[in-house]
Structure 1
Amino acid sequence: MQQNLFLFGFILIKFVLQYFLIDSGYDLHRDEFLHLDQAHHLAWGYISVPPVTSWFSYLIYLLGYTEFWVKFFPALLGALTIVLVWKTIEVLGGNLFACSLAAIALICSALARLNLLFQPNSFDILAWTFIFYTLIKHIQTGKNSWFYWMGIGLGFGFLNKYTIIFLALGLLIGIIFTKERKIFKNRHLYFGLGIGLLIALPNIIWQIIHDFPVIWHMRMLNTYQLVNVNRIDFLTEQPLFFIGSIFVLIFALISFFTYPPFKNYKFLFFTLVSTLTIFTFLRAKAYYAISLYPIFFAFGSLYLTQLLKNGRMRYLKPVVLLIPIVVFGLMIPLVFPFRPPEKLKEVYKKYPELQLTRWEDGVDHDIPQDFADMLGWKELATKVDFAYSKAPSDEYTVIICDNYGLAGAINFYTKEKGLQAITMNADYVNWIDLSREIKNVILVREASDIVSEREISLFERSEEIGTITDPNSREFGTIIHLLLGAKTDINSILAREIDEKKAELRE
């Protein structure tokens, strides 16, 4: 009973913290808008991600489509990850100190940063932790039912993010290196994997029908983002995710070889090594590997509990609990948008050697890219609404944007009923409605992409409405241009552009 009360307390702290760590001056993140718009286009797959995130988006839509609920679900998934680790410790015979240490370590870590944003990452961490939990339960109890739960975890993990495949490969290698490889002789393992395949099958079929857009997406990632990833940086960044509690992870790794009760769980160590090796070889982003670590806090906390159990060592227990909290408190000004951009700039100027403001283009900026991606969106939507109000209400006006961030932000923050922005970028290319005749167009263009004279000549009148004026926004200078009274068939022009874009996706 006491442990459950403490668990509830840690869950409450987790939720409060996730809302506290973002200053009210920030909008939602660019990537969140794409996922939120998927609620209006439910399918078994998308160009950028599998479908699970869209299901959460639909729940958010039903609950009122507000920022509160957008932030709620990542926080919930983060809290459930803590619950799983807590229950793992209980399963392994741990006490309240071990459970509390693991909970504090997870709350005061990079998970707090990932759980700020409505992206597939939070569910990914939960799914990986759940899969580890099922294997631990099988080893402990010998019950084959846990293989079926593992399959369910793999199936829904796949429907959330394809990186679950790398966990599967890592587990395969990790188990082969230990005596637990005997499970490969157990038919229930394959029945469980079959259930996972059945769960994942609708998305696999969707990929086949749509000529595997995931391949195009990975090619784009490799060309524009992963190409800037340094393999050494990937490895050196790993300890930073849990910098205040890295000692717990270290003791976890040691425990598999020095603490007899954990000898049956060595496969976790080899899974960690093999999965990190795969990610390093593929030049993955450093945060892709975060899903590996939560389960290890169960073992590290349990092992430390044994080491600090007797003699003078027991006096170190409060210190061990405080270290993650103190370090996390020191890190908050550096890695969380809990203050306005101008205040954060002052902090980053003091620590240029940390390279905290380096974007995926490999260049250092004034603030981190994630923070710049949370600015300027409400201003944009307000100005687009104004442009929309100037168009005749009885005519179809379409808003065409340069990228999914612009389109999604307008769709989320607009006050105009029925307004829907589109773009040829990402999944939006499949969502464009050409069933009505387009008479007016609002172009939302990045600062470097000016409206051409040819485009203006296709309409009776044109007017530049305004720009995004927030200098800290990644979209600073984006122009809103109103074009009224089409003199030609805009629908056919857009149809050709859509066909060309879809042809690109099939290449």
Structure 2
Amino acid sequence: MQNDINFRTSKSPQVDLAVLCGFVIVKLILPFFFVNAAYSLHRDEFLHLDQANHLAWGFQSVPPVTSIFALLIQFLGKSEAAVRLVTASIGAATLIFTWKIVAEFRGGLYAKVLSAIALICCAVGRLDLLFQPNAFDLLSWTAIYFFLIRYINTKENRYLYFMALALGIGFLNKYSICFLAAGLLPALLISNQRKIYKNNHLYFAGLVALLVMPPNLLWQYHHHFPVVGHMKELARTQLDKINRADFLKDQLLYYFNIIFIVLAGLWALLFSKTFAPYRWIVIGFVISLGLFTWFRAKAYYAAGLYPVVIAAGCTYLALLFNQRWKKYLRVLMIILPLALFSITVKYAYPILSPQQIVAKHNKFARVGSLRWEDGLQHDLPQDFADMQGWKEMARLTDSAYARVKDKSALLVRADNYGEAGAINYYSKFKNINTVTYNADYLYWFKMDKPIKHLILIREPNEEDPQRKKEQPFFKKITKIGEVTTPYAREKGAAVFLLEDATIDINSRIQSEIEEEKHDH
């Protein structure tokens, strides 16, 4: 790859560093421009933020790493800006690792710049918009690839241990990283890098990775492996509805803006002599993607496979178009992703207000943005609708909460984790401690004192809008109001105040909790 040497970092490392810092700054500030003020946080974010108040080695929905980031957000003030900054920082770290992978492929500054633009302009960039495990999952996968490539290039055993730590910590963030390991292990064995299995340090590094995992596995054991129930529920409600062909089609759609880079990367890794030492990457890519397809995974689960392919594609294209008139095509390769991104960004990010999206209904419907998990067309993309109505719900709950004098005898219970987390986040009463029988909140009930009053938040279109079920157990039931935000997924959710219980509410709720745990 000598033709690209003139553009390498060795000639001007200061310029490389300055350009990288520029992209990092862009990555950090983009989320603040990509979210319209009409939207609040997403329902999933509220759950993860609440985990900071219940630190443990595991949770029903996710492993523990997300709660550490939630604690950091709490330290930074817990504002929406703090949430955006932390997630954007994780995305910036992924960009840095991808930049470093390009350097390991002996790519120059142009290839690095193209890789940074590619990451920003494709679906990978969207994963660090929301505070979910997905952003760090992407970072973990990219770090593992970097350390393994770095080991192959230098033969320094320390990179095997760094890789193992990235794998172990990645496991404590999201279990889907096992799909990466399932792809890499046979890929290395099949490829010309199989000699790595003769290195004892690989196995010692494997032990390091395994030593990181037991605390979470022990937590799962002591709680009867709630992750199994969570995965069954996920499969029943979401994954079983995913068509395998649609999963593969979505891989093309997610990376449409940079598809020429992805295809160039796969071609280079398969056929280029320059990339011969890295054939295992494309073999692992195929194996992991095949496993995701077989298990009907969501399309974004495979996102971690792409940064390394993007790095290879950018390096290969920089080499391919580095002579005479072909150099002018380099400018086109920079402009094309940016141009396509400028067209598609409004479909991927909540830049437009709900009213603007409704006005462009046909355009959004044509690209499939309005189809939800239920298979039906709606007014807003599902993720955008999940960022609506929460502040109104919290205000209604606060109105009910303020009416109760003895708050030590009051329990606030929602129907789902989005409602519970949103109320805890936006309520002006910082000790409101809303819980639900849903997700991790099932383990967070505090009933050390007798409960006399109950605030219920019920989902839209529920079966008992008059609260006939609870009428025999409370002297007074008042409907405070319901969510009226037009395009919220929770539109119609109602808030009820149930006062002066006539039975032992504690034992009844405890019984329902145990029943829910048993079902999970």
TM-score by length of 1: 0.98
Distance 1:115 1:348 in 2: 26
The counterpart of 1:321, out of the listed 326, 330, 334, is 334
1:416 matched to 2:410? The reply is no
Superposed, 1:232-271 pairs within 5 Å as: 232-271=245-284
Superposed, 1:64-143 pairs within 5 Å as: 64-143=77-156
Aligned to 1:146: 159
Structure 1 runs (4+) deviating above 6 angstroms are none
Partner of 1:275: helix, strand, or coil?
helix
Q: Is the 8 A contact 1:397 1:442 kept in 2?
A: yes
Unaligned stretches of 5+ residues in structure 2: 1-13
Aligned to 1:305: 318
* TM-superposed deviation, 1:363: 1.7
* TM-superposed deviation, 1:447: 2.1
After superposition, the Cα gap between the structure-2 partners of 1:417 and 1:102, relative to the gap in structure 1 and judged at 3 Å, is closer
Q: Is the 8 A contact 2:365 2:377 kept in 1?
A: no
* TM-superposed deviation, 1:332: 1.3
The counterpart of 1:430, out of the listed 443, 447, 452, is 443
Distance 2:502 2:443 in 1: 26
Distance 1:371 1:192 in 2: 42
Distance 2:261 2:408 in 1: 63
Distance 2:177 2:187 in 1: 15
Cα distance per residue 1:139-181 (max 9 Å; x no partner): 1001111111111011001000000011100111221221111
Cα distance per residue 1:192-219 (max 9 Å; x no partner): 1110111111101111111111111110
User: Percent of counterpart pairs with the same letter?
Assistant: 43
Aligned to 1:9: 22
Q: Is the 8 A contact 1:459 1:483 kept in 2?
A: yes
The counterpart of 1:169, out of the listed 182, 185, 188, is 182
Distance 1:132 1:90 in 2: 13
Aligned to 1:493: 508
* TM-superposed deviation, 1:354: 2.1
The counterpart of 2:217, out of the listed 204, 212, 221, is 204
Q: How many residues align?
A: 505
The counterpart of 1:19, out of the listed 14, 32, 35, is 32
Partner of 1:463: helix, strand, or coil?
strand
Q: Is the 8 A contact 1:154 1:164 kept in 2?
A: yes
Distance 2:292 2:264 in 1: 23
Cα distance per residue 1:289-317 (max 9 Å; x no partner): 01110111211111111111111101111
Partner of 1:260: helix, strand, or coil?
coil
1:353 matched to 2:348? The reply is no
Aligned-partner residue type, residue 316 of structure 1: L
After superposition, the Cα gap between the structure-2 partners of 1:417 and 1:178, relative to the gap in structure 1 and judged at 3 Å, is closer
Q: Is the 8 A contact 2:435 2:445 kept in 1?
A: yes
The counterpart of 2:62, out of the listed 43, 46, 49, is 49
Q: Is the 8 A contact 1:124 1:291 kept in 2?
A: yes
The counterpart of 2:306, out of the listed 290, 293, 300, is 293
Partner of 2:172: helix, strand, or coil?
helix
Aligned to 1:373: 386
Bigger mean CA offset, 425-434 vs 103-112? 103-112
Cα distance per residue 1:117-159 (max 9 Å; x no partner): 0000000000000000111011100111111111101100100
Bigger mean CA offset, 122-131 vs 102-111? 102-111
Distance 2:469 2:431 in 1: 29
Aligned to 2:484: 469
Aligned to 1:194: 207
Distance 1:460 1:257 in 2: 73
Aligned-partner residue type, residue 457 of structure 1: P
Aligned to 1:34: 47
Aligned to 1:334: 347
Q: Is the 8 A contact 2:191 2:280 kept in 1?
A: yes
* TM-superposed deviation, 1:451: 4.6
Distance 2:237 2:269 in 1: 40
Distance 1:392 1:351 in 2: 48
Q: Is the 8 A contact 2:391 2:422 kept in 1?
A: yes
1:453 matched to 2:468? The reply is yes
After superposition, the Cα gap between the structure-2 partners of 1:88 and 1:423, relative to the gap in structure 1 and judged at 3 Å, is same
Bigger mean CA offset, 450-459 vs 77-86? 450-459
Q: Is the 8 A contact 2:457 2:496 kept in 1?
A: yes
Distance 2:325 2:358 in 1: 45
* TM-superposed deviation, 1:21: 0.6
After superposition, the Cα gap between the structure-2 partners of 1:394 and 1:361, relative to the gap in structure 1 and judged at 3 Å, is closer
Aligned to 2:231: 218
After superposition, the Cα gap between the structure-2 partners of 1:395 and 1:143, relative to the gap in structure 1 and judged at 3 Å, is closer
Distance 2:430 2:97 in 1: 42
* TM-superposed deviation, 1:261: 2.1
Distance 1:479 1:314 in 2: 62
Distance 1:63 1:436 in 2: 33
Distance 2:336 2:214 in 1: 45
Partner of 1:198: helix, strand, or coil?
helix
Distance 1:454 1:283 in 2: 39
After superposition, the Cα gap between the structure-2 partners of 1:362 and 1:416, relative to the gap in structure 1 and judged at 3 Å, is same
Aligned to 2:377: 364
Q: Is the 8 A contact 1:445 1:451 kept in 2?
A: no
Aligned-partner residue type, residue 150 of structure 1: M
